[in-house]
Structure 1
């Protein structure tokens, strides 16, 4: 399976490089991911069409031109819209356009037909339950763009070449036991992110960080009613949570960037998440939240670090912010995202958010909000320091805040300093599997319940243990709330986790002896040089 996955990833990356040099990374990312998605939709449509037509003894490819064509297409359209969320005719399949482009041993003009097909995929959903999930999905695939070539023939030649290469790859969608294609799609998104510089943070969270967040919010659970990401980017973080449990009933997210929003919906569908099971919105989460009346069992986020927001005084009457008495500053929205997520968190849920270290110690309004979360609400469960330079486009050190409304350890907070546990890969630092496991194991030891005491009534648990197994020298510390208060609610990790390495004591007598020996050697050397100078009849420097 691993070899198959690696082979597919390399094939797709090679095809992506067909477009490299013709345009910048953002553009060729949108084209290649869009074409892969179109092929995926086509393959799913053909497989489903063959399946429901099997009792009639015909294949999906034979529908057009059949004596009962109109009746069959109408039935297929209704069934596909319910099952898949969209509809394609046999003549509109990816494989058909790829063949048409290469027919007769030379490139045929297909740009017009391709544009119509992509538009038809979106239009086929109009008036149906899936309309919002498929609307404008291909908006970023501008087939008239000069970036594809100077002339229409140049553009057509490039597109035909890409489609032809993709047509030769078997996506193996029938294999329901694996998600090789979905993983390969994620791989490509990650590859594009690695070369996108500062823009990468807008759409992708490194997989090792996603893995940590996903495991933190699923501790003790094997299924989730819902998972939510208020700054969902490409959706990779939502999908990573799903890998940690047997089932997720609903995926919810909001993304401000229209291109990234489209990428997220494609990513969901490519991972075989049914359109009825995800709800992704294209809006500014802080200014215009779209799921405000819902509460979620798991919430994860990697919001833009210290982003600007309006901090309008009108928000003081917003239920997300009003209990705190203060708003996050307009120059740094970090705590505004925390407040938003806390508001949407279910009473039994867990949230984990990646933020810059400044949220741990900055004062003024942020200090007030931090104190309220700890002293008045007692929601903060853990603070985890991550290595610097693990995110694309920024080298700043970051941390993870874990919050719960109903905590096991109500009298303390776990601090983990994982900042020195990583591997350097080229220019990036990288959390290895053992680094991730250490973080998660420490958190699990902190949160686990003790066994019921012998003879306890109805098997009730006694009071939770203090989390002594989570206290690891120079790595983690379970801090009582009284200790947090003594530090004036400053959460800077070095205040709680002492990583100081004591140096070996210096033997001054030995050092003095060595210095005397050096002085004696220097005197001998000086005398030798002076003698040479005398023999040569030149002035000695000594």
Structure 2
């Protein structure tokens, strides 16, 4: 698929999404359109899988609509295979295209009512997984799609009409799922998530990391690796950051994540499945990561995160005996959980692993407990590998400048910490700043080669950091001061004197004209 075709598909999906918009805000109609796209994906994947099984018998899955014993036996056999391989099952009459056709045909001029059918089918998808290994991955997956919401229409008929229209539009789009080497739908899904994030204001931070930041984080943790045994995101949002890491290596064996927001947790699971990640290869939990961690017994080769900036947490004194925090002697402040996330992630980092986390600039220089934790990480553990300053106004919903902290338990360069100031390397697009590919490549190249460049990067020794009392503020290490061009005062004085002479001559000429015209002079 060409780049133009890809953009055309993205625009088609966005146009369909906007037919649902009505009076809903971005994060509300997001749940419906992404849910319907996911349903279409599951149905098409089911049909392709079933047709492959039935190929030798020259049977098409969607034609198995009878209730005779032979047909039911075939369907049951397909179901058993589907639950094992796909993790879910749909009956032939539950396929997306079949429902779309029913919803857009009429009897005596009256449209078929399909809302109850859709709600039942979505429930059946979940019920089909009960008692199987995939049950947790499909549990309440469609709970945010309330087809009886008056936001879709005041009457059931109005809601039925708009939903049928959306299904018809989606049914006309070929997701090209037969071409397994292409991730056309996955890319389009990511595009939609980004579009919704840009329209959701402050809420966007709950489920989306700007693509360029995701790429930087992913490339950092994938440095030197072709395969990753595991990748983990403790605040995984929509799962986009986990999936981005997978694009930077040949293979990721397992994905792990945790997300507190229920709706976003559902979106993350959909995103995983829709990108072709087998249900046995991802383990995403819904809970507060700091207060109720779900993967405490595991360590991960790659860890990435974009946690909520300076969030509140309990900082309960009981956590001083928690293995994640006990060795530091102090907890992160209750009003700023930034370093609590750092400590949590370091606890989960494998000895050969790399972690990269996006945080507000305040973590670099704030005092108190945060300074104490910084000192411990650098002086006692020497885990901090790099500090990267990003442009301001690059995240949706906040304009504050941010940075990336990179940690390793086994640093290849234990004698220093690399500082990169990429804060001035960006493009302004409307009201948002963005990094182009060249900006991203410069950061990654500098990080991987640990090159020093005037006003951009510097390898600071541990002693230098200690001398700065473990203040990591980037200008302390990279001099970005631009000297102003020197001014020749004597030359300026001569220019002013010449101007005065010219003004006197012009005034005299004007006075002469005024005298000839017999009018008063303006001065």
TM range (shorter): over 0.9
Q: Secondary structure at the match of 1:192?
A: helix
SS at match of 1:68: helix
1:512 maps to 2:512: no
The alignment status of 1:36 with 2:17, answered yes or no, reads: no
Counterpart check, 1:228 vs 2:232: yes
Partner of 1:253: 257
Instruction: Tell me the TM-score normalized by structure 1.
Output: 0.93
**What is the correspondence of 1:17-416 to structure 2 with a 5 Å cutoff?**
17-65=18-66, 66-104=68-106, 107-416=111-420
1:241 & 1:106 partners in 2: Cα distance? 50
What is the Cα deviation at residue 418 of structure 1?
0.5
- Cα shift at 1:21: 2.3
- Which has the larger displacement, 521-530 or 24-33? 521-530
**RMSD (Å) for aligned C-alpha atoms:** 1.5
In 1: Cα distance, 2:245 partner to 2:237 partner: 14
CA distance in 2, matches of 1:390, 1:106: 50
**471, 474, 497: which is aligned to 1:493?**
474
Q: 2:432 — aligned with what?
A: 428
8 Å Cα contact 2:25-2:200 kept in structure 1:
no
3-state SS of paired residue (2:19): coil
Q: Deviations over 1:372-410 (max 9, x none)?
A: 111111000000000011111111111000000000110
Deviation at 1:67, TM superposition (A): 4.1
Deviation at 1:156, TM superposition (A): 0.4
CA contact (8 A) 2:22 2:151 kept: no
Deviates more, 1:349-358 or 1:63-72: 63-72
Superimposed CA distance per residue, residues 402-422 of structure 1 (whole angstroms, 9 cap, x where no aligned partner) = 000000110100000001111
Do 2:238 and 2:268's aligned partners in 1 also have CA atoms closer than 8 Å?
Answer: yes
Deviations 1:267-319 (A, max 9, x none): 00000000000000000000000001100000000001111111111111111
1:526 positional shift: 4.7
After TM superposition, give the deviation of residue 11 of structure 1 in Å: 1.3
Find out whether 1:480 has 2:461 as its counterpart.
yes
Aligned equivalents of 1:125, 1:528: Cα separation in 2: 96
Using the TM superposition, give the Cα deviation of residue 62 of structure 1 relative to its aligned residue in structure 2, in angstroms.
2.7
Runs of 5+ consecutive residues of structure 2 not aligned to the other structure: none
Identify unmatched segments of 5+ residues in structure 1: 447-469
- Residue 10 of structure 1 corresponds to 11
Query: Please, which moves more after superposition, 8-17 or 262-271?
Result: 8-17
Tell me the SS of whatever aligns to 2:151: helix
Decide whether the 8 Å contact of 2:385 with 2:407 is kept in 1.
yes
Partner of 1:285, secondary structure, is coil
How far apart are the structure 2 equivalents of 1:203 and 1:103?
A: 37
**Aligned residue pairs: how many?**
519
TM-score (norm 2): 0.96
CA contact (8 A) 2:328 2:373 kept: yes
Question: How far did residue 532 of structure 1 move?
Answer: 6.5
Distance in 2 of aligned mates of 1:244 and 1:536: 82
Structure 2 SS opposite 1:512: helix
CA contact 2:22–2:152 (8 Å) conserved in 1: no
Shift of residue 4 of structure 1? Answer: 2.7
- SS at 2:486 equivalent: coil
Structure 1 stretches of 4+ moved >3 Å: 522-542
Query: How far does residue 511 in structure 1 lie from its aligned partner after superposition?
Result: 1.1
**What is the SS of the residue equivalent to 2:72?**
helix
Deviation at 1:194, TM superposition (A): 1.0
Q: After superposition, give the CA deviation of every residue in 1:311-368 in whole Å (9 maximum; x if it has no partner).
A: 1111111111111111111111111110100010001000000001000001011111
Mapped partners of 1:524, 1:57: distance in 2: 102
For 1:138 and 1:99, how far apart are their aligned partners in 2?
22
CA shift, 1:500, in A, is 1.6
Secondary structure in structure 1 of the residue aligned to 2:376: helix
Q: CA deviation at 1:183?
A: 0.4
Q: In the alignment, what sits opposite 1:449?
A: none
- Give the corresponding residue for 2:504: 523
Q: Distance in 2 between matches of 1:59 and 1:285?
A: 46
1:430 and 1:498 map into 2 onto residues whose CA distance is: 24
> Deviation string for 1:208-241 (max 9, x for gaps)?
1000000000101011000000000000000000
Question: What is the DSSP-based 3-state SS (H/G/I as helix, E as strand, rest coil) of the residue aligned with 1:17?
Answer: helix
Q: Are the equivalent residues in 2 in contact too, given 1:107–1:160 (CA < 8 A)?
A: no
Greater CA drift, 515-524 or 491-500: 515-524
Secondary structure of 2:480's partner? coil
Q: Is the 1:222–1:246 Cα contact (8 Å) retained in structure 2? A: yes
Q: Deviations over 1:54-77 (max 9, x none)?
A: 223322123331541332222222
Partner deviation per Cα, 1:36-61 (whole Å, 9 max, x = no partner): 00000000111111111222332212
**Contact 2:364 2:473 (C-alpha < 8 Å) held by counterparts:** yes
